[in-house]
């Protein structure tokens, strides 16, 4: 019963919070502007559509994973695509999580720098966060899962409470009949919205540890669904309080929206700072899971080097790479590339895997279950 021998079992509740924890992160701050820019008043519809797509791709991911219930994607990549191509795919997967962490940490650091610590160098903000991540993920998967499970409910509750204070200032006339400008703008903003739903591809890695595999779809769907509702709530809030024109003029509309909140009149002057404080835990859980997944994916690809060493080795890379982009615009480009890779992992990759399974079974190289 040594700590290290603890059995890796993700319970249904833990799965819900794990998925929610990784999805809701930096997207929470960056999402509304991207959506409202194209879809304008229909932005909240886009979010709901993106949620639908996410649920479809979740089905695909779990369909693949259930073929190999005891293996992670790292193992079945090699089984399905052969050693070389499998290794490349594994590196792609690990690299994707690496860049997911990099872009996430940098975006968070930018927000913290502008709103909280204007005179502190970016390196210190990022470096301190990375050290915290290293400590938190040091003991493996279960502590990471437990951190999500015990931390998220409180911060969600507080954020919702906070936003419900913004709603009295809402102007509901900003909304209009859906699809007034046709379906095209809604569809056009779908890919960028889907970036905010990225994260549940961790199931490729953690599916073998899920306790109730048969109900995995249901539980993960609850996690994604909650995140979707939460996003809709935020986008709708931004829309009705700021209006689309105002919203797209801001870097982070959610923060601007928080500025109009007065918790108790003349009590707290800068409510948006309070929002950032409440948002930091959500960003941190996302970084934590992606950071751990990076090390986990690398460790599974190259098991000779232990998980803890992979954490230590990836740390300086994350630090240096996250310091490379000069400004937010450049960072945005990085995020887009990472997001595109994520979209491939969500839809293209499971389809590719399924095809490969199909072909291999036809050729008799893979036993049917």
The residues of the shown chain that bind another protein, judged by CB under 8 A, are: 1-8, 11, 13-14, 70-72, 75, 112, 116-117, 120, 124-125, 128-129, 132, 135-136, 138-140, 142-143, 146-147, 149-151, 208-209, 266-270, 273-274, 277, 280-281, 284, 299-300, 303-309
Beta strands in 64-186 (DSSP E): none
Structure tokens at 125: 């903000």
> 3-state class of 10 per DSSP?
strand
Closest approach of another protein to the CB of residue 270, in Å = 4
Q: For 314-342, give the DSSP string.
A: HHHHHHHHHH---SHHHHHHHHHHHHHHH
Nearer to another protein, 46 or 72 (CB): 72
The least CB distance from residue 142 to another protein, in Å, is 8
Give the shortest CB-271-to-another protein separation in angstroms. 9
Phi then psi dihedrals of residue 334, to 5 deg: -60, -45
For another protein, the closer CB: 71 or 332: 71
Q: How far is the CB of 37 from another protein (least distance, A)?
A: 29
Of 158 and 277, nearer to another protein (C-beta) is: 277
Query: 57: Cβ–Cβ under 8 A, 6 or more apart, which residues?
Result: 346, 347, 350
Nearer to another protein, 140 or 243 (CB): 140
**Partners of 10 in the β-ladder:** 210
DSSP single-letter state for residue 170: -
The whole-angstrom separation of Cα 104 and Cα 256 is 20
Question: Quick one: 251 or 306, whose CB is closer to another protein?
Answer: 306
Per DSSP, 182 falls in state -
Shortest distance in whole angstroms from residue 7 CB to another protein = 8
DSSP one-letter code for 269: S
> What is residue 349's three-state secondary structure?
helix
The rounded Cα 287 to chain-centroid distance in angstroms is: 9
Smaller CB distance to another protein: residue 55 or 277? 277
Q: How far is the CB of 266 from another protein (least distance, A)?
A: 6
SS3 assignment, position 210: strand
């Amino acid at each position: 019963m040594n700590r290290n021998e603890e059995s890796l079992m993700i319970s249904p509740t833990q799965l819900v919070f794990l998925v929610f924890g990784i999805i809701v992160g930096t997207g929470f701050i960056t999402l509304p502007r991207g959506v409202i820019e194209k879809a304008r008043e229909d932005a909240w519809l886009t979010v709901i559509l993106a949620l639908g797509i996410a649920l479809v791709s979740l089905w695909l991911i779990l369909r693949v994973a259930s073929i190999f219930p005891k293996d992670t994607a790292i193992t079945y990549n090699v089984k399905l695509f052969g050693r070389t191509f499998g290794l490349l795919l594994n590196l792609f997967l690990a690299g994707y999580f690496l860049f997911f962490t990099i872009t996430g940490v940098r975006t968070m650091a930018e927000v913290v720098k502008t709103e909280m610590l204007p005179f502190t160098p970016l390196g210190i903000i990022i470096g301190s966060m990375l050290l915290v991540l290293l400590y938190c993920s040091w003991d493996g998967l279960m502590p990471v899962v437990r951190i999500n499970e015990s931390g998220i409910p409180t911060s969600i509750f507080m954020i919702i409470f906070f936003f419900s204070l913004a709603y009295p200032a809402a102007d509901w006339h900003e909304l209009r009949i859906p699809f007034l400008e046709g379906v095209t703008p809604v569809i056009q903003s779908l890919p960028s919205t889907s970036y905010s739903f990225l994260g549940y591809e961790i199931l490729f890695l953690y599916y073998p540890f899920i306790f109730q595999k048969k109900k995995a779809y249901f539980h993960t769907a609850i996690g994604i669904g909650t995140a979707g509702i939460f996003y809709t709530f935020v986008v709708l809030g931004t829309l009705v309080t700021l209006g689309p024109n105002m919203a797209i003029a801001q870097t982070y509309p959610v923060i601007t929206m928080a500025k109009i909140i007065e918790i108790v009149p003349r009590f707290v002057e800068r409510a948006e700072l309070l929002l950032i404080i409440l948002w930091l835990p959500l960003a941190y859980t996302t970084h934590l899971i992606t950071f751990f997944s990076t090390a986990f994916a690398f460790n599974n690809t190259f098991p000779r080097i232990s998980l803890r060493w992979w954490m230590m080795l990836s740390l300086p890379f994350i630090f240096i790479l996250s310091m490379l982009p000069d400004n937010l615009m450049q960072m945005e480009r990085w995020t887009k590339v990472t997001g595109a890779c994520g979209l491939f992992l969500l839809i293209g990759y499971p389809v590719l895997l399924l095809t490969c399974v199909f072909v291999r079974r036809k050729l008799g190289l893979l036993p049917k279950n």
